[in-house]
Amino acid sequence: MISSKKYVDETLKKYQIQAKPSLGQNFLVEEKIVDTMIHQLNLNSQSIVLEIGPGLGALTEKLVALAKHVYAIEIDNRMCAILKETLGQHTNLTIIHHDFLKFDFTTWLKNIDTSHLSIVSNLPYYVTSAILNKLIFNAIPFSSLMVMMQKEVGKKLINPQLKEKSPLHVILDYQYNLSIVEYVSKNAYLPRPNIDSIVLKITPKTPKIKVHNEMFFYQLIKHLFQERRKTLVNNLQAYFPTKEETILFLNQRNITCEKRIEQLSLDEIIEICNHLC
């Protein structure tokens, strides 16, 4: 099994390579965790899977046995070479040597059945936010997203304090359900990181109140959070002819002018968005 300490040790020695801390490489060596993640994806013969950062293939090995096709995007050419040698016999596996953050989804999405798309990743800690932002703000149409990340980051994603809120939190609250699948000890990795991890499952939901224009919604949220220290009456000034009209608009909706963006409820943000777009 690829998800074993023995396999990882032997493979790294065989190819005379070491994990790169600069790429956040910590290889999962506990099969139970791999099996739990795979089980929670609910894959079938129609499933298309995008795996971000497969590494040595602990998840990939199980994914190709269940899914119709697996696309594994890996930034490290050394890992790509190993994957091709160890799992290359699977005709339903496509290994893509690319930096996920620079990967263009436009053409790729046109050639797959997105109605059965699942995404899975043991996220490198240093790019967790960047990868999630790319997936969510590009509205990648997945049916489920299974991600392992730093424990504290995952907990803040589910229940952020006001000062920790970001555009990503707002979009997740609006469009997705988040659930904790499992907590993962640092001892489940080789080399062992300094912190524990958490596995989250993210699935789409129907918003309670819909925005009229999602693209504008995304842009508005980003703008308001860029100026998050401003009071709402000043932050919204760019969208109204005068400050008096901004105050009137907020007063009519019983929204305190001195509030800041992170203090607003999702419903209040949507109401503002739908008026402006």
All domains of the chain in start order, with CATH: 5-204 (3.40.50.150), 214-276 (1.10.8.100)
Q: How many residues does the chain have?
A: 277
* CB contact at 8 A, 143 and 175: no
Q: Is 77 exposed, middle or buried (0-12, 13-18, 19+ CB in 10 A)?
A: exposed
User: Is residue 24 predicted with pLDDT exceeding 80?
Assistant: no
Q: How far apart are CA 140 and CA 192, in angstroms?
A: 32
Q: Are the CB atoms for 74 and 83 separated by under 8 Å?
A: yes
- Of the candidate ranges 7-21, 151-165, 205-219, 253-267, the one whose mean pLDDT is the lowest: 7-21
CA distances for 51 relative to 18, 93, 201, 238, angstroms: 22, 10, 14, 41
Q: Name the nearest CA neighbour of 268 among 229, 220, 201.
A: 220
Rounded Cα distance between 200 and 182, Å, is 7
Residue range 80-109: mean pLDDT, rounded: 94
Please report the pLDDT score of residue 274 as a whole number: 95
Residue 277 is predicted with a pLDDT of 84
Q: CA 107, CA 132: separation in Å to the nearest integer?
A: 20
Average of per-residue pLDDT across 53-66: 96
Annotated binding site, which residues?
26, 28, 53, 74, 99, 122
- With cut-offs at 50, 70 and 90, classify the pLDDT of residue 199: very high
Residue ranges for the known binding site for S-adenosyl-L-methionine are: 26, 28, 53, 74, 99, 122
Query: How would you label 100-122 residue by residue, b for 16+ Cβ within 10 Å and e otherwise?
Result: beeeeeeeeeeeeeeebbbbbbb
Q: Could you tell me which of 236, 221, 228 has the C-alpha nearest to residue 260?
A: 228
pTM: 0.92
For position 237, what pLDDT does the model report? 92
Task: Give the pLDDT score at 132.
Answer: 95
pLDDT in tens, 172-191: 999 999 999 999 999 999 88
**pLDDT of 7 above 80:** yes
